[in-house]
Amino acid sequence: MAGSSIGQRLVLTSFGESHGKCVGAVLDGCPAGLELDEKDVQVMLDYRKPGQSLVSTQRKEGDIVEILSGVFRGYTTGAPIAMIIWNKDQNSRDYEQLQTKMRPGHSDYPALVKYNGFNDYRGGGRFSGRLTATHVMGGAVARKLLRVALNVETHSYTTKIGRISMRDKFDLSMKEKIYANEVRCPDQNAAKRMRNAILDARKSGDTLGGIIESTTYNVPVGLGEPIFGSLESDISKAIYSIPSVKGVEFGSGFAGSELFGSQNNDPYVTRGGKITTKTNNAGGILGGLSNGMPIVMRVAFKPASSIAKRQSTVDIKTKKPVILQVQGRHDPCVVPRAPPVVDSLVSLVLADHALMGGFIKPVL
């Protein structure tokens, strides 16, 4: 495959650019018989949508999805599901200076070299965070499929913005609180402080990064394949397709590498006749396979590269230093818009493996 597709049995293909006509997705391999309409997808897109609050970009996009194929009389048919969102509020004039002035932290420079100047640079073109809407289109279907077929539930939420962390460990009882605030942190106190930190950064023309955690419940034992088809391999590959992601860890992750084996191993116990583990340092994955415990992953987002502050850079034509002031409407922090994207990618990978492993049948 050439880079715009992911998955083996359930394949998502993404197309479109930030300031082109549209962004779209084709999801091939979804089982027939899943009840589906635009609302199932729209609800997740709305959580990702720009222009909703002060913590995100002021670009206003309706982001209304249209299903073009693969659904007949309210059910999926087994044929590829094409979905599209027409772009509306792009303002490309803001970007003309970017043809030659390379924005630090963005793909501008390597993309210009790679495509010898033929790439659509407006708003980052193909490299824009706007393309994560295509992840959500496909991911919303995968997430519903997992829920309907296997009762699997994925929840992603902000656990850190800049240096401000959520206190408590997430559990399923908090799921309704995730979208109760603008930053998508189920700890409402932390959420307030995170919001303030973002607004402060915004005021000073700067941006913040953060961490999103994702927990998936009810995953059957045995999803994944040894070695190159490990769940961690495929989930991290998917997650790193999100712009700004610079770190992915599972279970105890980087912190776990400081522990002794006797501390980090999760002892097996039986509970209600079922085998489970006392702790979950493994994050639900052993040897690349799901072990029945919740799959826990954390994603590090760098602070958004588009800052309002003046930055020094070079002009690619003159090869001389210049001062750049990025125009356009940008996110002071992309983290609050990312939980549905993380949900989507985790769901796509798990659904793909559930299909390959025979956990979900080709017709529901």
Residues 33-62 that bind a copy of itself (CB under 8 A): 33
Rg (CA), the chain: 21
Q: Tell whether 302 is in a known binding site.
A: yes
Q: Tell whether 340 is in a known binding site.
A: no
Nearer to a copy of itself, 96 or 180 (CB): 96
Can you state the angle between helices 132-150 and 38-48, rounded to 10 degrees?
A: 130
Tokens of 189: 């106190």
Q: Tell whether 257 is in a known binding site.
A: no
Distance CA 247, CA 275 (A): 31
Site track 285-304 with a copy of itself (rule: CB under 8 A), x = hit: -xxxxxxx-------xxxxx
Q: Is position 127 an interface residue for a copy of itself (rule: CB under 8 A)? A: yes
Out of 123, 125, 328, 340, the residue judged to bind a copy of itself by CB under 8 A? 125
Distance CA 168, CA 189 (A): 11
Distance CA 284, CA 231 (A): 10
Nearer to a copy of itself, 180 or 205 (CB): 205
Q: How far is CA 192 from CA 93, 129, 169, in A?
A: 35, 25, 18
| Half-sphere exposure at residue 41, Cβ-oriented, CA atoms within 13 angstroms | 28
Q: Is position 217 an interface residue for a copy of itself (rule: CB under 8 A)? A: no
Distance CA 324, CA 175 (A): 42
Q: Tell whether 118 is in a known binding site.
A: no
Q: Is position 21 an interface residue for a copy of itself (rule: CB under 8 A)? A: yes
Residues 155-184 that bind a copy of itself (CB under 8 A): 160, 162-163
Nearest to 290 by CA among 299, 298, 282: 282
Out of 44, 142, 208, 346, the residue judged to bind a copy of itself by CB under 8 A? 208
- What's the min distance (Å) between Cβ of 53 and a copy of itself? 19
Site track 252-271 with a copy of itself (rule: CB under 8 A), x = hit: xxx-xxxxxxxxxxxxxxx-
Residues marked as binding for FMN? 126-128, 287, 302-306, 329
